[in-house]
Amino acid sequence: MPLMMENEVYRASTTAPVNIAVIKYWGKRDAKLNLPTNSSLSVTLSQSDLRTHTTASCSRSFTHDILILNGKEDDVSGHRTQSCFRELRALRKELEDSDSKLPTLSQQSLKIVSSNNFPTAAGLASSAAGFAALVRAIADLYQLPQSPAELSKIARQGSGSACRSLFGGYSAWAMGSAPDGSDSLAYEVAPQSYWPDMRACILVVSAEKKGVSSTSGMQLTVKTSTLFAERVRETVPARMRAMEQAIKEKDFETFAELTMRDSNSFHATCLDTYPPIFYMGDTSRAAVRAVEKINEAAGRTVAAYTFDAGPNAVVYYQEKDEALVAGQFKELLAETQGWETERGQRVQEGGKAEID
């Protein structure tokens, strides 16, 4: 028996969903603890569609920590991954110290195997779902009693946006004010079931890796943009309140306007960064115009675009307006000058990578 125990492998698997912010996180006040300059809010894309699947295991027979991402060994030595490992091990150690019968998993090496179920072609940043799944899987492996909000503080240190993926549906990240980051965590605004007919489609403009990473881009914005101060002091706090209210009231028109305005404001601060950062391109602007045309034709706001640190658009709409929104893109974008049919086709394929 002791020999068997020696090589015993403990394992837990989980998934975490991709989230797309409608009030954007952009700026760090503490890069080491990954504390943001403003709160943010996102819609978590369906549990059943775009997500990262992660298995965490540990064993005395493992000689070192290892991370395999989409089939390839990745570096575990980075401070983000190390912070997550360290904090989760410390919580496990607390449990072991309080119950001597528990196996000392906190002293064993970890093996993390992670893969995304969405095509790389969707061009989605995977760090949010990735770190959320990593933290959740290790927390499950260690049987930690901490709540998702508590765990979100650890995921935040992996990647800021990851803290919001600990929840499904509509979730926010409160920036907090404590210097140690103890109140900078995610909370649920509403579960997906509260407003279940929300849909999102992704318009794939480019599957290429973004030119300027979020991490370095936002640091340059904080340093050089004068528009940025206004955004974090006035604009975002007011929008956070309005957005939570719009979600509570299931008021799509307000949700949509705030979403589009906040995406515009975020990209304006990118343009105001010196030297400027361009995440949106001509094709992204064509998608903005297409959404405007769709809304004009409907006589009300039925669609809302938002862009992260890249050119791809995510368009939110309600299921009841599906025909007015999703079906219109190919036609509208193919009409736009500079678009080729093939591109229109790709957009429609992107649209099919739909989240519900």
In the complex, the residues that contact ligand DP6 under the rule CB under 6 A are 21, 24-26, 34, 40, 125, 127, 159-161, 214-215, 308-309
Cβ 160 to ligand DP6 shortest distance, Å? 3
User: Residue 281 phi/psi, 5° resolution?
Assistant: -120, -170
Helix (H, G, I), strand (E, B) or coil at 123: coil
Nearer to ligand DP6, 40 or 328 (CB): 40
Nearest distance, CB of residue 251 and ligand DP6, angstroms: 21
Residue closer to ligand DP6 by CB (options 34, 57) is 34
Question: Smallest gap, in angstroms, from Cβ of residue 309 to ligand DP6?
Answer: 4
* Beta sheet of 66-69, edge-to-edge order: 9-17, 51-59, 109-116, 66-69, 72-74
Taking the complex as a whole, the smallest distance from the CB of residue 297 to ligand DP6 amounts, in Å, to: 29
Closer CB to ligand DP6, residue 34 or residue 46?
Answer: 34
Q: If 0-12 CB within 10 Å is exposed, 13-18 middle and 19+ buried, where does residue 336 land?
A: middle
Residue closest to ligand DP6 (Cβ): 160
Q: How far is the CB of 162 from ligand DP6 (least distance, A)?
A: 7
* 24 vs 89, beta carbon nearer ligand DP6: 24
Least CB distance to ligand DP6 at residue 26 (A)? 6
The C-alpha atoms of residue 330 and residue 343 are separated, in whole angstroms, by 9
Residue number, 24 or 136, with CB nearest to ligand DP6: 24
Say if CB 105 and CB 93 are below 8 A apart: no
C-alpha to C-alpha distances, 54 to 94, 132, 187, nearest whole angstrom: 24, 10, 22
Closer to ligand DP6 by CB, 27 or 350: give it. 27
Residues 6+ apart with CB under 8 A from 325: 201, 294, 302, 303, 315, 317
- If you ran DSSP here, which 8-state letter would residue 54 be given? E
CB closer to ligand DP6, 308 vs 321: 308
288 neighbors 205 (Cβ within 8 angstroms): no
Closest approach of ligand DP6 to the CB of residue 215, in Å: 4
> Does residue 170 sit in helix, strand or coil?
strand
Q: Which residues contact 343 (CB under 8 A, 6 or more apart)?
A: 283, 333, 334
Contact 185, 178 (CB under 8 A): no
CB of residue 114 to ligand DP6, shortest distance in Å:
16
Q: How far is the CB of 22 from ligand DP6 (least distance, A)?
A: 9
C-alpha 113/C-alpha 297 separation (Å) is 47
Residue nearer to ligand DP6 on the CB measure, 21 or 302: 21
Best CA proximity match to 236, nearest among 23, 36, 35: 23
Q: Give 192 or 221: the residue with its C-beta nearer to ligand DP6.
A: 221
Residue 334 exposure: Cα atoms within 13 Å on the Cβ side: 12
